[in-house]
Amino acid sequence: IDTAMTLNAMHPDIIVIRHQDSGACNLLSQKVNCAVLNAGDGRREHPTQALLDALTIITRKNKIEGLKIAICGDILHSRVARSNILMLSLLGANINLVAPKTLLPRNIDNFKVNIYNDMRDGIKDVDVIMMLRLQNERMLSSYIPSAREYFRYYGLDEEKLSIAKNDAIVMHPGPMNRGVEIDTSVADNVQSVIKDQVEMGVAARMAILEILSMR
């Protein structure tokens, strides 16, 4: 209550909040008098990342509807995955989630997505491969045998990438664990749009702040 009182006393137009607890943003928005922008709350949501990812895909592919998009890796701890599942399915993409069973949420059946435990099946003929960071800071116990083993089965290297469409684009929200979920040669190759994502992030967030400040 004191935090909200202090924040309100500053009369901000917008509060941008990134918080380790899922739901922190919703709670704050009920207590303050201004717009609240969620910059990532725990493992729940990361809406601006989903918007900049959608913008990146549209820039490269001219559309989202009908695209096959594989989201691969640590889905369980990823707010990026959750926001992208919501956004990209809303925009008409077909979504494959690719992860070992230990890194999939229990309620995964509630999402309208295809689930794959084998990466080769999950990325076959897709237009977009979105890799996720192994979120070690959110892991309370061991979810994978070793980083080396994980890379072997779930790391995106040139050989696995060749299973996707020839013109598939590779995405990653950063920061990347090179050699764990993504091979350096793939992270930096011509199919990678990871730098574009960073650039689109500036544009998307500028637009969001402008829209919110006009309210």
Query: In 3D, which of 132, 199, 125, 120 has the Cα closest to residue 171?
Result: 132
Binding to ligand ASP by residue 40, rule CB under 6 A?
Answer: yes
Binding to ligand ASP by residue 47, rule CB under 6 A?
Answer: no
Separation CA 28–CA 179 (nearest Å): 38
Binding to ligand ASP by residue 173, rule CB under 6 A?
Answer: yes
**DSSP secondary structure letter of residue 22:** T
Binding to ligand ASP by residue 79, rule CB under 6 A?
Answer: yes
**Lookup: tokens for 139:** 């892991």
Binding to ligand ASP by residue 201, rule CB under 6 A?
Answer: no
**Interactions with ligand ASP, residue window 82-121 (CB under 6 A):** none
Binding to ligand ASP by residue 43, rule CB under 6 A?
Answer: no
Neighbours of 104 (CB within 10 A): 18
**In a 3-state reduction of DSSP, which class is residue 98?**
strand
Q: Binding residue for ligand ASP (CB under 6 A) from 7, 37, 45, 46?
A: 46
Closer CB to ligand ASP, 23 or 92, in the complex: 23
Minimum CB separation of residue 133 from ligand ASP in Å reads 3
Q: Binding residue for ligand ASP (CB under 6 A) from 7, 54, 93, 133?
A: 133
Closer CB to ligand ASP, 26 or 162, in the complex: 26
For residues 44 and 201, the answer to whether their CB atoms sit within 8 Å is: no
For residues 156 and 188, the answer to whether their CB atoms sit within 8 Å is: no
Separation CA 190–CA 94 (nearest Å): 24
Task: State the residues that interact with ligand ASP by CB under 6 A.
Answer: 40, 46, 79-80, 133, 135, 173-174
